[in-house]
Amino acid sequence: MVLNAGSSSLKFAIYGADAALAPLATGLVDRIGPEGRLHLQSPDGAALPTAPGPLSTHGEALETALESLRRAWPALSVAAVGHRVVHGGLAFEAPVRVTAAILEDLRAFIPFAPLHQPHNLAGIEAAMLAFPEAPQVACFDTAFHRSHPFVNDTFALPRAYFDKGVRRYGFHGLSYEYVSGELARRAPDLAAGRVVIAHLGNGASMCALKGGASVASTMGFSALDGLPMGTRCGQLDPGVVLYLLTEEGLSSEEASDLLYRQSGLLGLSGISNDMRELEASKAPEARDAIDYFTFRIRRELGAMAAALGGLDALVFCGGIGENSARVREEVCAPMGWLGLGVDPAANASGAGILSAPGAPVTVMVIPTNEERVIARATRDTARAAG
């Protein structure tokens, strides 16, 4: 079983515990909150019945999802449970079987990822209670980025802070691991070159890869940095934070809530954090929010290309990256100077290669699958641990 708790969603899946890791069912709790919806489906896409239950919080969503799986498979035997854990710090560079001591270590990273880490750890604790005999395996979003050079991981603060762990970590590593692996399978020549993957969803970031290894990420010390997101502000002058604290009188908790939960697409538009709703809206504020989102993607893409010394491929993934032809068009169209562009018909279909044949930069969509990365790591880690 795989549990993947995002900032506004809960993905879950069950796989056969064999070499093929055949998927048995996948599920999603979308828009956790008053409008939360639970979906459960078989591998062929057929909808499966779900259990009634509340979906207003991550905890409620997890309980309702587990109850749905128990009803669908009364004799379900869980051999191991894998979890997405957003922050592993510097100590955790590979998947690890969770013990009480490791769980306590992971709590220390809650201040680094307050929107995700508590939900990730709550999922582990709930799974320990539900499946006490099954090993629990934590897989880390930060691990993929540990190959960064010093200049891409440090801030210009006194070196002592870097040594204490105040540095850039990068996130969405499980997504990048899957997409980079798929790119290597589909187009090995491109994967060996200079690639930017844009993981665009309610959480959004970009990763620059050279020869398949991460060399730079838009996210930094926390999952707040870089691109604007559904409710997160993205890159921000630190002087703004000082102003909020000293002049506006916000407490640290109020400032955190503002930057993590009231900003981004939601704050800019005053309408929604959901790109689907913004694209459907005629309000100028919705247009402004989309414009800012795509502008920041272009700006960061230029920085990623500079870090790589050029660009061979741009790959879109994530809920927005995979489904919004409008966002992909508005990112690529103004960047013809970098060799970017999309074919309108291919972009509308949203599958495979979107750029015209012979284009200087190949533009692709590769749907991400963090759950399969977690499932594979969980199987291998549980077996290695005996």
Element (H, E) at 39: strand 37-41
Task: Please check whether residues 126 and 206 belong to one and the same domain.
Answer: no
- Evaluate whether 216 touches 208 at the Cβ level (below 8 Å): yes
Whether residue 386 has pLDDT greater than 70 = no
Residue 314: C-alpha distances to residues 197, 207, 215, 360 (Å): 6, 10, 15, 11
DSSP state of 356: P
DSSP state of 181: H
pLDDT tens-digit readout, 263-286: 999 999 999 999 999 999 999 999
Task: Please check whether residues 62 and 200 belong to one and the same domain.
Answer: no
Query: Which residue type occupies 192?
Result: A
Q: Which neighbouring-strand residues pair with 205?
A: 199
CA distance 97 to 282: 49
Element (H, E) at 345: helix 344-349
Full residue range of the structural domain in which residue 320 is found:
173-365
- CA 35 remoteness from chain centre: 21
CA distance 143 to 177: 10
User: Which class for 121: exposed (0-12), middle (13-18), buried (19 or more C-beta within 10 A)?
Assistant: buried
Task: Please check whether residues 113 and 201 belong to one and the same domain.
Answer: no
Task: Please check whether residues 91 and 218 belong to one and the same domain.
Answer: no
- CA 56 remoteness from chain centre: 21
pLDDT tens-digit readout, 136-157: 999 999 999 999 999 999 999 9
* Number of other residues whose CB lies within 10 A of the CB of residue 188: 11
Task: Please check whether residues 136 and 259 belong to one and the same domain.
Answer: no
**The pLDDT value given to residue 11:** 86
Domain presence at residue 197: yes
Count of domains for the chain: 2
Retrieve residue 42's tokens.
Answer: 């078989």
Task: Please check whether residues 102 and 223 belong to one and the same domain.
Answer: no
**What is the domain-level CATH number for residue 122?**
3.30.420.40
**The pLDDT value given to residue 266:** 98
Spatial CB neighbours of 151, under 8 Å, sequence gap ≥ 6: none
- Evaluate whether 361 touches 368 at the Cβ level (below 8 Å): no
User: Which class for 326: exposed (0-12), middle (13-18), buried (19 or more C-beta within 10 A)?
Assistant: middle
Domain presence at residue 212: yes
- Evaluate whether 308 touches 196 at the Cβ level (below 8 Å): yes
Whether residue 322 has pLDDT greater than 90 = yes
The one catalytic residue among 30, 141, 153, 274: 141
pLDDT tens-digit readout, 174-188: 999 999 999 999 999
Average pLDDT over residues 370-381: 93
Average pLDDT over residues 59-63: 85
Retrieve residue 385's tokens.
Answer: 């641990």
Angle between helices 117-130 and 58-72 (to 10 degrees): 30
Q: Which has more pLDDT, 113 or 247?
A: 247
Task: Please check whether residues 248 and 323 belong to one and the same domain.
Answer: yes
Over the Cα atoms of the chain, what is R_g? 20
pLDDT tens-digit readout, 227-275: 999 999 999 999 999 999 999 999 999 999 999 999 999 999 999 999 9
CA distance 6 to 271: 21
User: Which class for 164: exposed (0-12), middle (13-18), buried (19 or more C-beta within 10 A)?
Assistant: exposed
44 is catalytic: no
Q: Which of 23, 69, 22, 31 is nearest to 50 (CA)?
A: 69
Task: Please check whether residues 188 and 126 belong to one and the same domain.
Answer: no
Sign (positive or negative) of CA dihedral 263, 266, 267, 268: positive
Spatial CB neighbours of 308, under 8 Å, sequence gap ≥ 6: 194, 195, 196, 208, 210, 215, 216
Task: Please check whether residues 19 and 124 belong to one and the same domain.
Answer: yes
